[in-house]
Structure 1
Amino acid sequence: MQTRWVPPPLPVRRVRFEVRPWGNGRDPERELLPYVDDVSLVELISGYEHAAGFDVPGAYAGLVLDRLNVGDLTTYLLGRPDSAYWTKVGPVALLGCDCGEVGCWSLQTQVLIDDDRVTWRGFSQPFRPQRDYGSFGPLTFRRSQHERAVRDTADAASQR
């Protein structure tokens, strides 16, 4: 009898999103920064890009919420953007440029949801389509934990 090889399950991570001040003005804008296992996504992707020898590695910041109209934040972070800026369901930007503009330099991913998991996979840098992010991710989260983090973040972002 031949045994079929089954790949090991992906490790389950913890996600959180921090809404924090961005900029140096008297009334700073708000930045949304994802964290995976308490390490910012900026740090994670910067380390990956440096190790891969990519040009312009790690020139990211979180999404500056006051500059980006993503529609309903909960829907957006669950991979179903509903704003005019994002014209189709597909990759969503989780990071923008360190200048504060997502359209300048972003890190995108697909957000896939099943019964009990949320997976970020297919990371890409639209301004460097030749880059291979195949070994960065996928990142998998418990659906209940991811959705709770998204709801908490949307609530915090609406407080302004």
Structure 2
Amino acid sequence: MNYLILGLIAAPLFSSSAIAQPITHPAAVPVQVAVSQAPEKAIDELTDFIFYNLYPGLNRRKIRSDERQYIKEWAAIKKVVSQDSLVYQDVCGRNSTNYEWLLSKYDGQGPGRDASALSSPVLDKVADAIFYTRHPELVYRRIQPSEMRLASEWSGIRRAISSLHPCY
């Protein structure tokens, strides 16, 4: 009798539709998983990580409701991070069980793992989002070579959010 109950419970698991479309946990897949599957918490944590690299003096304190510019910049960072910038993968590529949501592209490492080579298109987009949030009057137009102050400001933002992969 117990076998019959177990058989009735297990039967839907082995239906033809279940076999045709197996369900796998993202950790079982050693390749990148679409950002659309990223939990909101992971997106918020990476947004916080980038934001507080930009503003280390805030000491990770909560942004107050009257700090509108901080709110705008945090939201701009989150928009970039949540669009196409996260992967769920083995953190250090050692086929371990340590999977996390990470940025899809980090700054490149030069000789000796030097962080001087800023090469992440994701972090470039984040820097753009922050910069143009500060300068909405520019309407996302390119900075002209003669606009040295603006170019310097963008470069400062980009350096502040520079990030190496956690395994380097």
Provide the TM-score with structure 1 as the length reference: 0.26
Provide the TM-score with structure 2 as the length reference: 0.25
| Richer in helix (by share) | 2
| Richer in strand (by share) | 1
Bigger radius of gyration among the two: 2
